[in-house]
Amino acid sequence: MVEGLLIGLQTVLSIKNFLMVVGGCLIGTFIGMLPGLGPMSIIAIMIPVAISIGDPSAALILLAGVYYGAIFGGSTSSILINAPGVASTVATSFDGYPLTRAGKAGKALTVAAIASFVGGTVGAILLLFFAPALASVALLFHSAEYFALMVVGLSAIAAFAGSGQVTKALLMTVMGLMLATVGEGAQFNLPRFTMGLMDLQSGIGFITLAMAMFAIPETLFLVLDPSRSDKSGEGSSKIKDLRITKEEAKQIAPVIARQSIQGFLIGVMPGAGATIASFLGYAVERNIAKPSDRDLFGKGSVKGLAAPESANNAACTGSFVPLLTLGIPGSGTTAILLGALIALNVSPGPRLMQDQPEIFWSVIISMYIGNVVLLILNLPLIPYIAKVLTVPRTFLIPFILFFTLMGAYIGQNNPTELLFLVGLGVLATILRLASFPLAPLLIGFILGPMLENNFSRASQLYDGVSFVWERPMTTVLLAIAVLLIVLPSLKSRFGKVKFFDV
Amino acid sequence: MWEKTCITLLTAHPADRLGGLKLRSGGMNIEKAIALFLALVLAVYSYTAFFEMDYLLPPILQRNPVWPSTFPKILSVMGLIACALVFLNIEKSEKQVGDDLDISNWRAYKIIHAFSLIFGMVVYALVLRPLGFIGATFIFLFASSLLLGEKRYVLLAIICLISSLSIWYLVDDVLGIYMSPLPSWLSTR
């Protein structure tokens, strides 16, 4: 391992590769801040640039830097304007945006920066030591378990939606899964639910749906109620106060430590990834918090902000484990990275560590350096980043809408996609007015194809659904999923214990 | 008509509200109305999954335990159950979460502005190709800012022009994603 580390250090510390890390982080942060432009679209856009570099280690280092930068930038837009460009920073906005509206945007950004830094660094250290061991655990999972694991993930998200919200969240999850079946999937090569429209042949774009669910309702709310943006204006005037108190540091330290490890472990599981890690991290921290602290969650709690931030960064690092050691992408973003690697003539898998150690180790080392670069770059830049809040709303709103439209257009290069975006955005606004949670819909949409693929594969192996009771692990996981849904609903119905109270 | 429906939805008396919003006429709140609407969507989806998809399947694939319609069928059943649960208010949801707008106070909100911006986005989508990126973007940004009450016309025009030109340059030249800058009848590419 020491030998590997030295090879990695040698590769990363060349001037060219170091510039790749810095450049990648910068590009990622700035583009990731734009609402709607998440790591997936940024990495997809950067692939031609990376391929033109030619050197696989340099290209992968650049793309990995862009990835961390985008997650970091995504949290910034979640906190400042409640427009998460990425599903994994949705949980960040739960407490980050209330903090901004309370005039503590600077503090929120500092907490996010520190939590991300620790989460990412702890993730990188764990990856270094546990990659081979964790890969062998992940190898024990078959498609039946992957299927059950995703069902648990989706149920957990619905269960954690809060009191009186579980059935609504469940309905939204099913809606997301349904939207994912639209189009011609790779599995069957048959167009499904396209209503004969050519524009639906390739399905609904993830970026389009993400922006329709988050950026458009938020912007329309800003338009409907001008006082909302005035409140953000008040917040920005106090942006200079970046410091966090000793008390707050004490509060968030154990949260960050727990969530860095939990986030990493969730990130390693394919299909789970940063999104589930951030939601689970948030839910777990809320449920184990003291009742007085729990009441603050959702209203601007620093714990509620630190939990998803450290979890999602640790999970991003964790998702590299299955990619680098098994060649299986754990998330949409790592799937795009897998595509880039194949284009660069590198086949990730168990042999990567032996055949091309410089690639494997340089990516791991670039994670440490990337995290340091992000902390050094972002903390001093926070007051400037937050200047986006002082832009008058007559300029801000048209530009947010325009970037939202551009994000959907760049992804698909098709004006019809913009009509889908507007239609879905209006629907999402109405759903939000009726307090239907929208995040489960998007997560259902992301996990939908993977869920169906694993379900089909397991059914084919067992010639039916007997895998549900023939594989004990699957049975246990599915039972957990049912309990997760039923318990809070029953509790809410009979009002005995408010366990999942928001 | 759409606006009228929304205003009808928004005009319910605050006392009628439970969780979301009650419609006076039908005594149905907005959550139930949405559940009903989604149930209709699900009905169409289920019909397609159960009756319209399987005949497309080649005979060889019919031996597979999983058909393209299998997963949608499961989802249809689950979705209809979830709709029924929301409609019957099985959980007794009583409060709104988050900091969302209080719709009983709709008169205070700028509904006309919101609808105009939605309309503006639709128009932008329709004229993006015929007018070209630069023209369409300039008009969209300029008109939306005017609508929201911007009075500094010259500054606004300069900002809109610089942003549409620079974003076009970034996307087209730097990122290499082709976007026609000029109206379709002037474009040479």
A195-217: average pLDDT: 80
A18 C-beta neighbours (distance < 10 Å), count: 15
- A365 vs A428, more confident: A428
Among B6, B148, B158, the strongest candidate for a mutation testing the A interface, having the largest count of A CBs within 10 A, is B148
Indicate whether B16 pLDDT > 80: no
Mean of pLDDT over chain A: 79
C-alpha–C-alpha distance, residues B14 and B16, integer Å: 5
Q: Measured between CB atoms, does A487 come within 8 Å of chain B?
A: no
C-alpha–C-alpha distance, residues A70 and A63, integer Å: 10
The minimal CB distance from A489 to the residues B70, B90, B110 is found for: B90
Taking contacts as CB-CB distances below 8 angstroms, the residues of chain A near B148 are 223, 393-394, 397-398
Indicate whether B98 pLDDT > 70: no
pLDDT band at B188 (very low <50, low <70, confident <90, very high): low
Sequence ranges of the domains in chain B: 2-108, 111-174
CA distances from A145 to A11, A394, A447, B91 (A): 38, 51, 14, 30
User: What pLDDT digit, counting tens, does each position of B32-80 carry?
Assistant: 899 999 999 999 999 999 998 888 788 888 888 888 888 999 999 999 9
Residue A137 is predicted with a pLDDT of 64
Q: Measured between CB atoms, does A452 come within 8 Å of chain B?
A: yes
pTM above 0.90, yes or no: no
Does A224 sit within 8 Å of B71, measured CB to CB?
Answer: no
pLDDT band at A392 (very low <50, low <70, confident <90, very high): confident
Residue A501 is predicted with a pLDDT of 38
User: What pLDDT digit, counting tens, does each position of A53-63 carry?
Assistant: 778 888 888 88
Does B65 sit within 8 Å of A463, measured CB to CB?
Answer: yes
Q: Amino acid letter at A69?
A: G
Of the ranges A142-151, B29-38, B112-121, which one carries the lowest mean pLDDT score? A142-151
Residue B45 is predicted with a pLDDT of 94
Selection from A83-87, A274-278, A324-328 with the highest mean pLDDT: A274-278
C-alpha–C-alpha distance, residues A269 and A273, integer Å: 7
Residue B27 is predicted with a pLDDT of 44
Taking contacts as CB-CB distances below 8 angstroms, the residues of chain B near A418 are 121, 124-125, 128
C-alpha–C-alpha distance, residues A96 and A76, integer Å: 9
Does A415 sit within 8 Å of B129, measured CB to CB?
Answer: yes
Residue A245 is predicted with a pLDDT of 81
pLDDT above 70 as % of chain A: 81
Taking contacts as CB-CB distances below 8 angstroms, the residues of chain B near A419 are 122, 125-126
Taking contacts as CB-CB distances below 8 angstroms, the residues of chain B near A394 are 145, 148-150
User: What pLDDT digit, counting tens, does each position of A43-101 carry?
Assistant: 766 776 777 777 888 888 888 888 888 888 888 878 877 766 566 787 888 888 888 88
CA distances from A334 to A30, A63, A267, A322 (A): 20, 10, 11, 9
The minimal CB distance from A460 to the residues B45, B66, B175 is found for: B66
Secondary-structure breakdown of chain B: helix, strand, coil percentages, each rounded to the nearest 5: 65, 0, 30
pLDDT band at A331 (very low <50, low <70, confident <90, very high): low
C-alpha–C-alpha distance, residues A456 and A228, integer Å: 47
Residue B181 is predicted with a pLDDT of 82
pLDDT band at A387 (very low <50, low <70, confident <90, very high): low
Residue A146 is predicted with a pLDDT of 78
Indicate whether A479 pLDDT > 90: yes
- B141 vs A120, more confident: B141
Indicate whether A437 pLDDT > 70: yes
pLDDT band at B7 (very low <50, low <70, confident <90, very high): very low
Q: Which residues contact A467 (CB under 8 A, 6 or more apart)?
A: A144, A458, A459, A461, A474
Three-state DSSP class for B22? strand
Buried-exposed string A54-86: b where 16+ CB fall within 10 A, e elsewhere: ebbbbbbbbbbbbbbbbbbbbbbbbbbbbbbbb
CA-nearest residue to B85 within chain A is A167
Q: Token digits for A324?
A: 């680098």
Indicate whether A3 pLDDT > 60: yes
Q: Token digits for B73?
A: 């069928």
Residue B158 is predicted with a pLDDT of 94
ipTM: 0.82
Residue A236 is predicted with a pLDDT of 46
Q: Token digits for A169?
A: 């969240």
Does B111 sit within 8 Å of A224, measured CB to CB?
Answer: yes
Residue B146 is predicted with a pLDDT of 93
pLDDT band at A388 (very low <50, low <70, confident <90, very high): low
- A33 vs A65, more confident: A65
CB–CB contacts below 8 A, A to B = 194
A409-421: average pLDDT: 83
Does A298 sit within 8 Å of B66, measured CB to CB?
Answer: no
Q: How far is A421 from chain B (nearest CA, A)?
A: 9
Indicate whether B129 pLDDT > 80: yes
Indicate whether B95 pLDDT > 70: no
Residue A37 is predicted with a pLDDT of 58
Residue A499 is predicted with a pLDDT of 39
- Closest CA relative to residue B121, chosen from B145, B144, B149: B144
A177-194: average pLDDT: 84
B10-21: average pLDDT: 37
